[in-house]
Structure 1
């Protein structure tokens, strides 16, 4: 499928308004819909950004969201308000009917129109503030709190014990932490049992990290685990570069599963390890209903 080409300097992260058209093209190439991860990966592929740009974090103190992910989130926000894309309750984004015959948009026109609509809603009392690009999009602040706790307050030993507990709660048996033995970067080992019928010996490394794990770190880990386990598991509070992901799944090499900071947070939440989920009532006023009386 042919698509437009956008050219940026290798270490440059495009501003959010320059991501409107790449994002629309990404959705079209995905068949009109996709998850955030699928859309972001396709947009990055189209933009052909360099590793240095992809590795830039938006705010290392608050989480592991990269700058490109942050700006793509703003691009989705603007295009949704402009009426070209929408998202379901399951987190799947899709093109709307309005986008069927739209090949490209004028970024300045989209930005102007969306901000105008936002100001109009504010004047009508339907407060819908539209933050500027410099503000942080954080619909789930608990992730930022957890990230700071894990990376700044929890000790390295404490993080290893947390990973040990997480693996046990996930069905691993004979989980041992060996990180203090200086065993070639390996932090522990265990046995993963699958439905009580099969089992795999797993070696893991857990990295309490605020940045991006590189491909060289994955190669070093693989070198330490070769011949000692069926699989490798690398866990981090940070994220992984595209090259690191490719290295982990390289053909002919022992497989390594990766768990990044967001996936780690999701797993802790799922297992109820230090995270409680409370259902809170949310009341919304339908102003149009009252006006129609």
Structure 2
């Protein structure tokens, strides 16, 4: 068979099936009939773009002048100038409605991509934290507390003050509380009851609050003893909680994002001519 391009392959697939199809079905039929060899990691997107470029009612910068396809209200495509029993009773989707559907689909895709990006970012941030040496992680913990308004924060000298890696103050109401923190740069071992109790013993009577940072996780036993009546409370941050702080306070990261704009419900009313809304009203 002579080599054909993607739009021609789509046309051949539709004529072979003699029924409207989704983009996925069209792609699968092209592969089944060996109509085109795709040299790309995302062939489905190539098929979708080819159909949209040549689809009636869809206009964008890269749209083609020649229109071969129409978009039906059930989400399938068909040949623009050919009737078929399989398409009986199906209506062409109005271009405006089609564009709205396309916007919804793209918005969903963008949200999914964003969720995947954040997941990868979180994993990468945690790995970078785990790559710090123990002293760097102590300094990093100090900076996390400073980002939340803690003052006079100091990292203790190695080997001094027992399990206290740093200390400072935080203002609560009209007074200041003395606080201390400990940092455990662990990967596999979880922080448990023993470590939390030992840290509390080191700060009891000297500080009013304790903060425990770890790049791993806390055991259930460790969580159970973090708050006890009459004892210094220990606020705990595992690897995921530390990443949350970094993202919320933009510590070690820089926000570079584009806003996703959507239509408001009142948009159609705004331009209908019946609206009493003043477009230039302050």
TM-score (norm. length: structure 2): 0.48
Structure with the bigger RCO (C-alpha within 8 Å, sep 6+) is: 1
- The higher radius of gyration belongs to 2
TM-score (norm. length: structure 1): 0.46
